[in-house]
C-alpha cells in the first residue's frame, strides 16, 4: 500500500488525482489532503477518502473544517499554514506527494517533500521555475524521485530513454519539442486582446484547468514557464527547446533525436493520464481516460509561435537565458499581474508589461539559496503591485 499526500487537493489537478486514486483502492491510500479556503469541498473529500490529516490556509478555515468533520464523525487531524503543509509533505508514512498547489505558495511544501526523499509528483511548475538548481539539488541530495505531471513534461519523460541522465547530448537528443495549444486567443486579432475578459481568457479550447494556469495559457506564459521547467527537468538549454503550436492538444510533446527520429506521446487531453503514469511508474494503471480515437481526430496541425502575439513567451526565454533569480522575478510578477487581470484591475495586454517592468527594474543575481529566491519573489511582488497601483492612479 502506498500512502499519498495531495497538496492542493481541491484544485483541478488535485481532483483528477483523487479520481485516479479512487480507481485503485488496493494500491493507494490517501494520507493527507490540503486546500486553501475551499473548506466544504475538502470536508467532502475527507468523507470519501478518510485521510489521517487535512491542512487548510487559516485558523478560521481549520475551525470550520474541524466542525464539519466532527459532524460527519471523522477524526481527521486538522491543521493550517505552511509548516503544516511541510509536515504532511514529509511525514515518514508518506510514499508519494502530489505537488498541486498553484503558484509560489507551493514552493516550501514541495521542497519539503524533496528534502524528505519522497516520490514527488510535480504539477506545481512555479516551484521549480523559482528555485531551479536548488530544487534539483534537493531532489538529488536526498534521493527523492521527481516525476513530471505537467502533460508536456510527462510526455517528454515518456519519450526519453529510461537511463536518461539529464544530458541531451549523451542520449542523442537533438531537441525537445514542447507542444502548445496556443490557448483561446491563437487567431483573434492582437489589437482586440485589450478588451478580453477573464471569462474569455479562462475558456481554454482543449483543457479544463484552474484560473491562473488558464490565463497563463492564454498569454502563453504557461509555455514560457514550461520551457524553464523543461530546462531543469531534462538539462536542456534554451536553444535545445522548441515550442510548437499544436491546437488539437493530442500530441503532448516530442523528443527529436540526432538520427532524425522524433518520438511523441499522444493521448486525449486529460490530466488523469500523466497523473496515473507518474503514480504507478514504471507500471501502467487504468486512469479513466478513454482510448484515443485517431480516425475521429483525423487532423493534427502544427505551426510556429508568434512572439509578437505572445510577448510573455519571449520574456520567459529571456529569463531562462539570464539565469539566476530572473525566472523567480518573472514568476512572481506574472502571479501578481494575472491576479490583477482576474480582479479586473488591468487589461489582458498589460500582463506582459507588468512582467517586463519588474524584470527591467528589479536587480537580479545568483540564486544562491532558497532564502535569496524567496526574497526576490517578495521584492518582485512589491514592484509589480507598485507598478499596477501607479497605472490605476493615472
Binding residues vs Mg ion (CB under 5 A): 150-152
Best CA proximity match to 338, nearest among 202, 191, 181, 178: 202
Distance CA 355, CA 319 (A): 11
Q: How near is the Cβ of 104 to ligand NDP at its closest, in Å?
A: 8
Residue nearest to Mg ion (CB): 150
Using the minimum distance from each CB to Mg ion, give the nearer residue, 94 or 180.
180
CB 174 within 8 A of CB 256: yes
- Of the ranges 11-19, 234-242, 293-301, 334-342, which one interacts with ligand NDP (CB under 6 A)? 11-19
Asked if residue 124 binds ligand NDP (CB under 6 A), the reply is yes
Distance CA 139, CA 114 (A): 5
Q: How near is the Cβ of 126 to ligand NDP at its closest, in Å?
A: 5
- Of the ranges 12-20, 234-242, 329-337, 360-368, which one interacts with ligand NDP (CB under 6 A)? 12-20
Residues 137-196 interacting with ligand NDP (rule: CB under 6 A): 150
CB 255 within 8 A of CB 262: yes
Interacting residues of 358 by C-beta distance below 8 A, sequence separation 6+: 329, 330, 332, 333, 380, 383, 384, 387
Q: How near is the Cβ of 37 to ligand NDP at its closest, in Å?
A: 4
Q: How near is the Cβ of 199 to ligand NDP at its closest, in Å?
A: 16
The conformation of residue 287, written as its DSSP 8-state character, comes to: -
Residue by residue, DSSP assigns 40-101 as: HHHHHHHHHH--SEEEESSHHHHHHHHHHHHHTT---EEEESHHHHHHHHH-TT--EEEE--
Using the minimum distance from each CB to Mg ion, give the nearer residue, 251 or 388.
251
Using the minimum distance from each CB to ligand NDP, give the nearer residue, 54 or 177.
54
Asked if residue 8 binds ligand NDP (CB under 6 A), the reply is yes
For residue 88, what is its C-alpha cell?
504532511
Q: How near is the Cβ of 127 to ligand NDP at its closest, in Å?
A: 8
Among 81, 95, 198, 210, binds ligand NDP (CB under 6 A): 210
Q: How near is the Cβ of 172 to ligand NDP at its closest, in Å?
A: 28
Partner from Mg ion, ligand NDP, none contacting 254, C-beta within 5 to 8 A by type: none
Positive or negative, the CA dihedral 387, 325, 9, 268 is positive
Distance CA 41, CA 38 (A): 6
Using the minimum distance from each CB to Mg ion, give the nearer residue, 217 or 350.
217
Using the minimum distance from each CB to Mg ion, give the nearer residue, 96 or 122.
122
Best CA proximity match to 29, nearest among 57, 48, 3: 3
Using the minimum distance from each CB to ligand NDP, give the nearer residue, 8 or 311.
8
Using the minimum distance from each CB to ligand NDP, give the nearer residue, 102 or 241.
102
Strand (E) or helix (H) holding 214? helix 211-219
Distance CA 157, CA 222 (A): 19
For residue 304, what is its C-alpha cell?
510556429
Among 100, 201, 215, 233, binds ligand NDP (CB under 6 A): 100
CB 207 within 8 A of CB 268: no
Asked if residue 102 binds ligand NDP (CB under 6 A), the reply is yes
| Binding residues for ligand NDP (CB under 6 A) | 8-14, 35-38, 57, 100-102, 105, 123-126, 150, 207, 209-210, 212-213, 271
Amino acid at each position: 500500500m502506498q500512502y499519498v499526500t495531495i497538496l492542493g487537493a481541491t484544485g483541478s489537478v488535485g481532483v483528477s488525482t483523487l479520481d485516479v486514486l479512487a480507481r485503485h483502492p488496493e494500491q493507494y491510500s490517501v494520507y493527507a489532503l490540503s486546500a486553501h479556503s475551499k473548506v466544504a469541498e475538502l470536508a467532502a473529500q475527507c468523507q470519501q477518502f478518510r485521510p489521517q490529516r487535512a491542512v487548510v490556509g487559516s485558523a478560521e478555515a481549520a475551525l470550520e473544517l474541524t466542525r464539519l468533520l466532527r459532524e460527519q464523525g471523522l477524526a481527521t487531524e486538522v491543521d493550517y499554514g505552511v509548516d503544516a503543509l511541510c509536515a504532511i509533505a514529509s511525514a515518514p508514512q508518506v510514499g508519494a506527494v502530489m505537488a498541486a498547489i498553484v503558484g509560489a505558495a507551493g514552493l516550501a511544501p514541495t521542497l519539503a517533500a524533496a528534502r524528505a526523499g519522497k516520490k514527488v509528483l510535480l504539477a506545481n511548475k512555479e516551484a521549480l521555475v523559482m528555485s531551479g538548481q536548488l530544487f534539483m539539488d534537493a531532489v538529488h541530495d536526498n534521493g527523492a524521485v521527481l516525476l513530471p505531471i505537467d502533460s508536456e513534461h510527462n510526455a517528454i519523460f515518456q519519450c526519453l530513454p529510461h537511463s536518461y541522465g539529464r544530458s541531451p547530448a549523451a542520449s542523442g537528443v537533438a531537441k525537445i519539442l514542447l507542444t502548445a495549444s496556443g490557448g483561446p486567443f491563437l487567431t483573434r486579432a492582437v489589437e482586440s486582446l485589450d478588451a478580453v475578459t477573464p471569462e474569455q481568457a479562462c475558456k481554454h479550447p482543449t483543457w479544463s484547468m484552474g484560473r491562473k494556469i488558464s490565463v497563463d495559457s492564454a498569454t502563453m506564459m504557461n509555455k514560457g514557464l514550461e520551457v524553464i521547467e523543461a530546462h531543469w527537468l531534462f538539462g536542456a538549454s534554451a536553444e535545445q527547446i522548441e515550442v510548437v503550436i499544436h491546437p488539437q492538444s493530442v500530441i503532448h510533446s516530442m523528443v527529436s533525436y540526432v538520427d532524425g527520429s522524433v518520438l511523441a506521446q499522444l493521448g486525449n487531453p486529460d490530466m488523469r493520464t500523466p497523473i496515473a503514469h507518474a503514480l504507478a511508474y514504471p507500471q501502467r494503471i487504468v486512469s479513466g481516460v478513454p482510448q484515443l480515437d485517431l480516425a475521429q481526430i483525423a487532423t493534427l496541425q502544427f505551426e510556429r509561435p508568434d512572439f509578437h502575439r505572445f510577448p510573455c513567451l519571449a520574456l520567459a526565454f529571456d529569463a531562462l537565458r539570464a539565469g539566476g533569480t530572473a525566472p523567480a522575478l518573472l514568476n512572481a510578477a506574472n502571479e501578481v499581474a494575472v491576479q490583477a487581470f482576474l480582479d479586473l484591475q488591468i487589461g489582458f495586454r498589460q500582463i506582459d508589461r507588468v512582467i517586463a517592468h519588474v524584470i527591467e527594474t528589479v536587480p537580479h543575481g545568483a540564486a544562491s539559496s532558497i532564502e535569496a529566491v524567496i526574497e526576490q519573489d517578495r521584492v518582485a511582488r512589491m514592484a509589480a503591485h507598485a507598478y499596477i497601483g501607479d497605472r490605476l492612479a493615472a
